[in-house]
């Protein structure tokens, strides 16, 4: 059923059920609908802005709290499923929320849509989109790489396109651009609550939305009209004073914050920026800062609504949304005196350019000191490749500022001393910088314009300039720089910085260069110093949309066929995981005890493995390939405790599964940091894993494990990690009494027959315990639909 008001579809979100579909609207009267009839997006003409409902919910919550509220609280709590009775204790309560939309990139959308298909639901319940950005490998240049990707991935693209048509999901074709830039240009708005199946979804906070990275199973919940659950975050306030100038850019704000908070300092918290310094940052610059907030483990990041956001909305053909936001600023800005759990203060007038790395995004150096650090630690000084763009730094302003540096250099007869790659964030950005001559300036510098896609940022880079294993340095404007992240070479030292500093260091050819102080030598032998970079925030001629690459879903897609061949090596329909048998997990074998950093990249590698993201069994062959084992301090070489033979981690896991041996993993601190990829939870479950026991978890990965029926547990005493060896057997006692807040007893049996008991904590609530008992959240969804 579709409710119509005055001949138009209501504030429409579809409510799905197993038996059919009906409309879920924002519960507004005909008068209200007429007064607020502004579409959420130019591409969602029948779904209207939710401010009326959000304001009503905010009023309820504000009376309950009786105190000033942070912006994060306002946006989050105004999306509560039940604002009148929800518990609202930061850091403790679980919130049930109603997000406004869902976004999925093609690598994660495959599994998300496969899970949605297996749910039996006929159509998604909220506006949702799929973005083809992860499967395009950087090899030659944009057009050729795109054509190659379309041919190589046609089976996957066809699956995603037809799934979109059948289930009501918008489909952005390959070449459209990177998911986060597309969201900013078309869908984000101040006050939005959105979930996305990519860890850098928080990019939308640059336009005043709470945009949160999740796994595919969470996306399925929201698309199925199940309230989305989130542990109530704490709020870290970052007060900005002063103003940006010179070589300092928005990227330097988050690079400094990363150095202060570290890769896990934002875990369980929203980072909220406020203060007079916000006014000196462009809307896309705010997006850059929020995007890289994923690297400090933050739930998401957000900026308050201001004139810079208004201008960006107008420039991207959303003037009506800008005007409506102007009328709702009380919802879109924090209250005076709002309580933060921690405040970090940064004076932008004193902030210096930063460059972080290598191998971790929180190793922060000011640009004048990184050269000395490189010499001290024997990091290669020579910059082999400079890479600008990506979802983090590919705005018109970013590209223009780089072009201003290039023009200066070329006026002195200089070009890049290293390979230089440019990744436009979207087709709109690509078309606009081509029209305005910026792309040609960067090409004349020696640059290669890659496809509008993630490319080298996520490991989709067919790199040829250095041999595998060769020690070298690259400098990027990306967000993440884990070992082997970009080119699968563990000896590539990747440093993350602003696109301006990337350009300057590519020009100098060395890390040991500070453009604020150091001189260059022109082709005429004369010394010169670069002037400060400068560019317009928005294009004077407006944005050129470029090629139309969007496929809108039909109102009725029931006649569309979505085919998955049983012989396919790229796609595989899902088989439900087994249900918990009601017994304790006794004498589990330890598949691997990981040492040190173990990100989702270590658990489920990307790069060439992206082609198997829709085929769970095939991609499970990448399980823990680059994690270091405590057994021998080697990668992908563990002992089968039954046969005593050494082999790869996935082969060993498969042998255990075939023999009916339950296994677990022991891990270190901040286990599962990085990408939101749920394959890092699906693969252990698929190959027979039951529990992951670590010192601490990254938020998204812990939730993903719960969704798949795994037991994510943490040592009550972190020192107990050292008491376990890879030869031990692990028993989890009292699982029938598993309850919120109740620790689990772990019996560790040694090879000499002795044992010791240690205490493990967990963060399960009652709903999540039901997921575990059912075998997965998807299994539980089916049980509920069947009335169980």
Which of 667, 701, 294, 682 is closest to 481 using CA atoms? 294
Burial class (CB in 10 A: 0-12, 13-18, 19+), 759: middle
377 labelled catalytic = no
180 labelled catalytic = no
- The residues facing 718 across adjacent strands are none
Specify whether the CB–CB gap between 355 and 259 falls below 8 A: no
Cα(323)–Cα(305) distance, rounded to whole angstroms?
A: 12
Q: What is the DSSP letter of 227?
A: P
Q: Which residue out of 79, 98, 134, 685 is catalytically annotated?
A: 134
Q: Which residue out of 426, 675, 696, 776 is catalytically annotated?
A: 675
Cα(506)–Cα(138) distance, rounded to whole angstroms?
A: 19
Specify whether the CB–CB gap between 24 and 14 falls below 8 A: yes
Which of 482, 494, 489 is closest to 463 using CA atoms? 489
Cα(762)–Cα(273) distance, rounded to whole angstroms?
A: 31
Q: Which residue out of 615, 677, 690, 780 is catalytically annotated?
A: 677
675 labelled catalytic = yes
133 labelled catalytic = yes
In the structure, how many helices (H) and strands (E) does the chain have? 25, 36
Cα(281)–Cα(249) distance, rounded to whole angstroms?
A: 8
Specify whether the CB–CB gap between 446 and 503 falls below 8 A: no
Residue matched to tokens 């007869």: 413
Burial 676-711 (b: 16+ CB within 10 A, else e): bbbbbbbbbbbbbbbbbbbbbbbbbbbbbbbbbbbb
Helices (H), 627-765: 649-658, 679-686, 699-707
Q: Which residue out of 100, 198, 218, 362 is catalytically annotated?
A: 198
Tokens standing for 386?
């400079």
Q: What is the DSSP letter of 93?
A: P
* Conformation bin of residue 242: beta by default, left when phi > 0, alpha when psi is -120 to 50: left
Q: Which residue out of 98, 318, 401, 480 is catalytically annotated?
A: 480
Cα(333)–Cα(303) distance, rounded to whole angstroms?
A: 8
3-class SS of residue 330: helix
* Dihedral (CA of 507, 510, 511, 515) sign: negative
Q: What is the DSSP string of 254-320?
A: HHHHHHHHTTTTTBTEEEEEESGGGGGS-HHHHHHHHHGGGGGTBSEEE----HHHHHHHHHTT-HH
Which of 456, 333, 312 is closest to 71 using CA atoms? 333
Q: What is the DSSP string of 531-584?
A: PPP---SS-TT-----S--EEPPPS--TT------TT-SSB-PPPPPPPP-SS-
Tokens standing for 568?
């396919």
Cα(457)–Cα(478) distance, rounded to whole angstroms?
A: 6
Q: Which residue out of 44, 100, 106, 133 is catalytically annotated?
A: 133
249 labelled catalytic = no
Beta strand pairing status for 729-733 and 585-593?
antiparallel
3-class SS of residue 427: helix
Rg (CA), the chain: 25
Residue matched to tokens 């057009």: 143
617 labelled catalytic = no
> Strands, DSSP E only, in 382-465?
383-389, 419-423, 447-449
Specify whether the CB–CB gap between 223 and 124 falls below 8 A: yes
Cα(283)–Cα(411) distance, rounded to whole angstroms?
A: 31
Residues with a known catalytic role: 133-134, 198, 480, 675, 677
């Amino acid at each position: 059923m579709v409710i119509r008001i005055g001949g138009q579809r209501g504030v429409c979100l579809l409510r799905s059920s197993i038996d059919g579909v009906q409309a879920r609207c924002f519960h507004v009267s005909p008068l209200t609908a007429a007064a607020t009839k502004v579409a959420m997006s130019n591409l969602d003409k029948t779904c209207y802005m939710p401010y009326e409902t959000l304001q009503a919910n905010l009023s309820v919550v504000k009376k309950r709290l009786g105190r000033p509220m942070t912006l994060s609280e306002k946006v989050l709590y105004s999306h509560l499923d039940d604002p009148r009775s929800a518990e609202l204790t930061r850091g403790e309560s679980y919130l049930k929320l109603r997000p406004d939309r869902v976004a999925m990139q093609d690598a994660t959308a495959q599994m998300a849509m496969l899970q949605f298909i297996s749910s039996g639901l006929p159509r998604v319940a909220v506006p949702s989109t799929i973005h083809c950005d992860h499967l395009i490998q950087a090899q030659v240049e944009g057009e050729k790489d795109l054509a190659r990707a379309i041919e190589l991935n046609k089976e996957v693209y066809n699956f995603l396109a037809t799934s979109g048509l059948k289930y009501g999901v918008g489909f952005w074709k390959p070449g459209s651009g990177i998911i986060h830039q597309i969201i900013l240009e078309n869908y984000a708005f101040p006050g939005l609550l959105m979930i996305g199946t990519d860890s850098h979804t928080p990019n939308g906070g640059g336009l005043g939305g709470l945009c949160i990275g999740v796994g595919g199973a969470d996306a399925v919940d929201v698309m199925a009209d199940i309230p989305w659950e989130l542990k109530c975050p704490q709020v870290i306030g970052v007060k900005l004073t002063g103003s940006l100038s010179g070589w300092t850019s928005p990227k330097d704000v988050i690079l400094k914050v990363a150095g202060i908070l570290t890769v896990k300092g934002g875990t369980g918290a929203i980072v909220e920026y406020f203060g007079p310094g916000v006014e000196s940052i462009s809307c896309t610059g705010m997006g850059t800062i929020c995007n890289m907030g994923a690297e400090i483990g933050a739930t998401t990041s957000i900026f308050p609504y201001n004139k810079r956001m208004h201008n960006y909305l107008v420039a991207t053909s959303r003037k009506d949304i800008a005007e409506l936001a102007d009328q709702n600023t009380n919802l879109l800005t924090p209250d005076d005196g709002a309580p933060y759990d921690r405040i970090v203060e940064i004076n932008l007038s004193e902030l210096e350019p930063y460059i972080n790395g290598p191998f971790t995004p929180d190793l922060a150096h000011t640009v004048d000191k990184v050269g000395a650090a490189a010499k001290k630690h024997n990091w290669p000084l020579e910059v082999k490749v400079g890479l600008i763009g990506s979802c983090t730094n590919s705005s018109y302003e970013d590209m223009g500022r780089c072009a201003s540096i290039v023009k200066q250099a070329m006026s002195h007869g200089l070009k890049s001393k290293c390979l230089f790659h440019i990744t436009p964030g979207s087709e709109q950005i690509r078309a606009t910088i081509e029209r305005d001559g910026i792309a040609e300036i960067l090409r004349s510098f020696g640059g290669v314009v890659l496809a509008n896609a993630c490319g080298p940022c996520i490991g989709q880079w067919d790199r040829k300039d250095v041999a595998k294993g060769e020690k070298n340095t690259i400098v990027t404007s990306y967000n993440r720089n884990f070992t082997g992240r970009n080119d699968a070479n563990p000896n590539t030292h990747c440093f993350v910085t602003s696109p301006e500093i990337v350009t300057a260091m590519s020009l100098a050819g060395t890390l040991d260069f500070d453009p604020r102080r150091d001189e260059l030598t022109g082709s005429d032998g004369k010394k010169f110093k670069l002037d400060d970079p400068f560019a317009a925030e928005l294009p004077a001629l407006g944005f050129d949309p470029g090629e139309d690459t969007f496929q809108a879903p039909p109102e009725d897609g029931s006649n569309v066929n979505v085919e998955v061949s049983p012989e396919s090596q790229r796609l595989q329909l899902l088989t439900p995981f087994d249900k918990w048998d009601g017994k304790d997990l006794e004498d589990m074998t330890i598949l691997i005890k990981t040492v040190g950093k173990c990100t989702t990249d270590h658990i489920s590698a990307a790069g060439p493995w992206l082609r198997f993201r829709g085929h769970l069994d095939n991609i499970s062959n990448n399980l823990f390939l680059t994690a270091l084992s405590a057994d021998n301090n080697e990668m992908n070489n563990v002992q089968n405790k039954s046969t005593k033979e050494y082999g790869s981690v996935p082969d060993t896991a498969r042998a255990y599964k075939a023999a009916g041996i339950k296994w677990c993993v022991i891990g270190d601190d901040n286990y599962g940091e990085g990408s939101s990829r749920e394959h890092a939870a699906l693969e252990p479950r698929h190959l027979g894993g039951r529990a992951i026991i670590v010192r601490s978890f990254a938020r998204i990965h812990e939730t993903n494990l719960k969704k798949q029926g795994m037991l994510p547990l943490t040592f009550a005493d972190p020192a107990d990690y050292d008491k376990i060896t890879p030869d031990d057997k692990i028993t989890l006692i009292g699982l029938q009494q598993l309850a919120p807040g109740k620790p689990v007893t772990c019996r560790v049996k040694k090879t000499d027959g002795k044992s010791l008991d240690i205490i493990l904590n967990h963060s399960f609530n009652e709903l999540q315990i039901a997921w575990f008992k059912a075998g997965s959240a998807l299994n539980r969804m089916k049980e509920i639909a069947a009335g169980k």
